[in-house]
């Protein structure tokens, strides 16, 4: 199986590569459109600030490529947020895969949310053999509200989307690569789709 | 529900863990990777590596260590100690660290916080603050609490938040090493005045101290070293105790 992690200079992707290797698979880091197009599974990571990450995607032309990919694509954290219509962070236009606008947490909670929270209302093959209310690791200031494509939810002052799915596109707000054995299970489910 | 985090802290010198670690079941208790893995399996929510080396090769040794830790463990970790530039942080994050912690370099050059946040985002920038009370005022100290600054803890913490840091790691030098509990009054004030997570550090001696720092100190996370290294407190037991006290934890 050919697994490509899109490498567009956005943050900590080494950890995702290591997590995949711990499961016995190999992953390639690449920004080459041909490599990405011919992958069986594509991981779209992202850590950092939205507008600068989007800018980097545009420079390499990947903003045009990602939305037309046909194989399973998993956006993680900022990667998931960039797959939405817009994000309030840096007033950034996203890839428009998920029909939702990402907004900032209200100040009635501490921002960023950092730590382990729970997922519920699980409704995707990503969560095969994953129980309701399992703990996952999150670190973020912006969130996607609950929509039709929401396949996992979390409570932090309000209920919001911690996973989205539409056709071949998947997104997790949490970091599966940092979410202990549960995260590895979710990542494995994606790789075995 | 967002849970309270328990964070063991490992002091690193020249790529090895220093000062008392009493893990009899470990092959090599001086190996930070092995220790990190053991803590991860024991239920730690996050780890902090604090580098106290003073050698020329320090940066490279630390970067190599981060890569090895990232390859092994599946929980988040923070790296601190001697970080003073955007380049330092870039290498550590690229090698797999989730967050970095800066201390003296932020006091000497507060603009560094803005620069790091601009390049890497708030979520991975922790500012560590060491402070102790002098004539009733909390004064920020450098060099492990040896050198006082002009800064007041609460003013500095506010400035750190305004400059975009994602989290504050507050160590009370008055409590550190006493095993008499955390500085809950000032922690609680920090938590009320700021809207970013606060990690409590300094003073952990027993499980009740953790209960108190989450309840009275309103801390979001608690960091400790020796009570975990010497197995005076098992993380699993601690989490059960916290849950029995209605404090949300990951179990």
Q: What is the pLDDT along chain B (251 residues), one digit of tens a residue?
A: 999 999 999 999 888 887 655 554 555 668 899 999 999 999 999 999 999 887 778 888 899 999 999 999 999 999 999 899 999 999 999 999 999 999 999 999 999 999 999 888 899 999 999 999 999 999 999 977 788 999 999 999 999 999 999 999 999 999 998 999 999 999 999 999 999 999 999 999 999 999 999 999 999 999 999 899 888 999 999 999 999 999 999 99
In chain A, which residue's Cα lies nearest the Cα of B43? A180
From the list A70, A118, A71, A100, the residue with the least C-alpha distance to A164 is A100
Tell which residue, B136, B107, B130, has the closest CA to residue B50: B130
Q: Is B90 assigned a catalytic role?
A: no
Domain boundaries along the sequence of chain B: 5-244
Residue in A88, A4, A92, A15 with CA at minimum distance from that of residue A53: A92
**Mutation to test the A interface, candidates B68, B114, B248, B250, most A Cβ within 10 Å:** B250
Clarify whether B11 is annotated catalytic: yes
Q: pLDDT per residue over B69-104, tens digit each?
A: 999 999 999 999 989 999 999 999 999 999 999 999
Closest CA to B228 of B206, B251, B244: B206
Q: What is B14-29 written as a DSSP string?
A: TTEE-S----TT-S-T
Task: Show the domain range for A16.
Answer: 3-191
Name the catalytic one among A21, A49, A77, A129: A77
Q: What percent of chain A has pLDDT over 90?
A: 90
For chain A, the domain total comes to 1
- Between the alpha carbon of residue B202 and those of residues A114, B181, B243, the distances in Å are 21, 8, 22
- Interface residues of A toward B, Cβ cutoff 8 Å, are 11-12, 14-15, 18-19, 21-22, 47-49, 107, 110-118, 135, 137, 139-141, 155-156, 175, 177-181, 183-184
A67-78: average pLDDT: 97
Fold exhibited by the domain B5-244: TIM Barrel (3.20.20)
CATH of the domain at A167: 3.40.50.880
Which of A117-121, A168-172, B30-34, B154-158 has the lowest average pLDDT?
B30-34
pLDDT in tens, B15-50: 888 765 555 455 566 889 999 999 999 999 999 999
């Amino acid at each position: 199986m050919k697994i490509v992690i899109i490498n567009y200079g956005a943050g900590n992707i080494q950890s995702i590569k290591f997590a995949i290797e711990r499961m016995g698979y190999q992953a390639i880091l690449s920004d080459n459109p041909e490599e990405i197009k011919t992958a069986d599974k594509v991981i779209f990571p992202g850590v950092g600030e939205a507008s600068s990450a989007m800018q980097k995607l545009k420079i390499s032309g990947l903003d045009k490529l990602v939305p037309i990919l046909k194989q399973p694509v998993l956006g993680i954290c900022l990667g998931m947020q960039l797959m939405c219509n817009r994000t309030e962070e840096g007033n950034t236009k996203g890839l428009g895969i998920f029909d939702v606008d990402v907004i900032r947490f209200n100040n009635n909670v501490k921002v960023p949310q950092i730590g382990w929270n729970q997922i519920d209302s699980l409704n995707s093959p990503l969560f095969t053999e994953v129980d309701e209310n399992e703990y996952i690791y999150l670190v973020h200031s912006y969130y996607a509200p609950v929509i039709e494509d929401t396949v996992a939810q979390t409570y932090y002052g309000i209920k919001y989307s911690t996973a989205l799915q539409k056709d071949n596109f998947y997104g997790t707000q949490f970091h599966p690569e940092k979410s202990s054995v549960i995260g590895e299970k979710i990542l494995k489910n994606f790789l075995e789709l | 529900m967002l849970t309270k985090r328990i964070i063991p802290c490992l002091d690193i010198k020249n790529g090895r863990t220093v000062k008392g670690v009493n893990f009899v079941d470990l092959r090599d208790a001086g190996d930070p990777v092995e220790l990190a893995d053991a803590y991860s399996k024991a239920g730690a929510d996050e780890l902090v590596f604090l580098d106290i080396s003073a050698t020329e090769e320090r940066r490279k040794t630390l970067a190599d260590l981060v890569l090895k830790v990232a390859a092994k463990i599946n929980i988040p970790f923070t790296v601190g100690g001697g970080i003073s530039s955007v380049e330092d942080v870039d290498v550590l994050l690229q090698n797999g660290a989730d967050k970095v912690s800066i201390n003296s370099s932020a006091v000497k050059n507060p603009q560094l916080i803005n620069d790091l946040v601009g390049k890497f985002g708030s979520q991975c920038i922790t500012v560590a603050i060491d402070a102790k009370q002098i004539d009733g005022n909390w004064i920020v100290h450098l060099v492990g609490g040896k050198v006082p600054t002009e800064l007041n803890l609460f003013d500095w913490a506010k400035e750190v938040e305004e400059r975009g840091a994602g989290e504050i790691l507050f160590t009370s030098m008055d409590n550190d090493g006493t095993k008499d509990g955390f500085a809950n009054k000032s922690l609680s004030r920090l938590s009320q005045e700021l809207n970013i997570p606060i990690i409590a550090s300094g003073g952990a001696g027993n499980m009740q101290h953790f209960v108190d720092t989450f309840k009275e100190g309103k801390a979001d996370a608690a960091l400790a070293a020796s009570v975990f290294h010497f197995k005076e407190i098992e993380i699993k037991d601690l989490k059960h105790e916290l849950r029995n006290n209605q404090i949300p934890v990951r179990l």
